[in-house]
Structure 1
């Protein structure tokens, strides 16, 4: 691989007292503030997802020591706790929203913890946070048939466009899983880049619809976070995660093949 590897940080909830469903992938407000301060102290340059992808698409040089700060789902703590810290440092970020989990007229009631409302999402956008797509009901997209997949993407994308006045251009796959079918559907829905998980650094060679991220958890300590930012020991620190992901991906592909075979017999 050539070029500059970029750590794309994947956050979920930022909360002092998350519930059991979100605790493992939540980050305490104090820890988040310390992590953002470290990004500043190390002289890294935060970018939005759209900005990174545009640099790579047009082969423009990246700024010094780029890093991406991303949030999935749409938890209320991103507005309450993360936005003031981001604003303090002047850091842009990207929030990938599951539109059916945002409180308001489109709410399905499926949000696993305290979720944002649309006024808060608009305030985040006004504060320099790119708002991207993350589906409507947060399904496993690679398990849907073509019709259901297209409908899920169209519904969530339409809501984001109506609520924010602009078509979103960046997407993150729920649960981090995708397939060739899913990536093509995301592209057809009008997104120009999409993020997976993978727990490894992002490279241009991964392609705009399969950029990898690294997970920040409640147990991520300062030393581990610094290693991650400096691109050191990422392979070692996330080796178990990647092995589990690859194993589960094989199971998911086998299930998908079986479902297609059953549908062809009907």
Structure 2
């Protein structure tokens, strides 16, 4: 009789223990939810005033990586850096202890006091040129650097511009793809359906190509206005980048400064400009 009752009693104890677990699990889940809620409440975003007071991270902007030709005009000389000069500049950044960061890190630093590596720098490229993939990304890869590529969607798959596959490769390799409008018209001239053509559709197209959210926008020619910021926010962009003009004190996340790297700088001038332009 004892042999029959013992298994029954053991089974009854196990069943009782199992039946008591849901209450414990419910309590644990409720406690976890409470902890998460408290953590979310603690993580408040910095105000525009607080963001502006933080030291700026140096952000470089490249356009063309090509040899200067005899008949190149002044603009081409400003917007073009030779392949050898670009290689020297990237090497100099590495030798001088710089570490590349990406927009999500910058956003976390500005809004939530996120930590950055020592001597942070961001390297960005505008306009979709193929040499940015063949030369720019290839050269940065030698040093473990990653960059941000702002794309005009009208130019994708055209001769001398990047293809869908190259954009996907850049993204898969850890670089960031951002939007640079459809056809490089300045945002101050947009009206009516222009906002959808220049902001909404490019974002969706790039997201379809890389399979990731596109959260960052660079203003064509670096020119912006308040209406553009409103529309950029409506379209779900988290940050927007200008050029070397002053940030807006009320919208610092949507007027983030960059400096164009011209083809006229020597490597020492390049390093000096990084220091002087962002140490104010």
Class of the TM-score when normalised by the shorter of the 2 chains = 0.7 to 0.9
1:127 aligns with 2:165: no
**Number of equivalenced pairs:** 226
Structure 1 residue 234, shift from structure 2 partner: 6.6
Largest Rg, 1 or 2 = 2
Structure 1 residue 206, shift from structure 2 partner: 6.0
SS in 1 for 2:121: strand
* Contact 2:182-2:197 at 8 Å conserved across structures: no
Q: Give the structure with the higher percent helix.
A: 2
Question: 1:227 maps to which residue?
Answer: 272
Question: 1:174 maps to which residue?
Answer: 220
CA offsets 1:190-245 (integer angstroms, 9 cap, x no match): 11001000257x8998611000111101112212111123x226799xxxxxxxxx
Q: Give the structure with the higher percent strand.
A: 1
SS in 1 for 2:212: coil
Give the one of 262, 266, 269 matched to 1:217. Answer: 262
SS in 2 for 1:5: coil
Give the one of 161, 178, 182 matched to 2:207. Answer: 161
Structure 1 residue 34, shift from structure 2 partner: 0.5
1:143 aligns with 2:193: no
Question: 2:145 maps to which residue?
Answer: 91
SS in 2 for 1:198: coil
The answer for unaligned runs of 5 or more in structure 2 is 1-51
Mark the CA change 1:219 to 1:235 in structure 2 (over 3 Å): closer, same or farther: farther
1:15 aligns with 2:70: no
Structure 1 residue 61, shift from structure 2 partner: 2.8
SS in 1 for 2:61: strand
SS in 1 for 2:243: strand
Give the one of 1, 24, 34 matched to 2:78. Answer: 24
The answer for unaligned runs of 5 or more in structure 1 is 108-112, 237-266
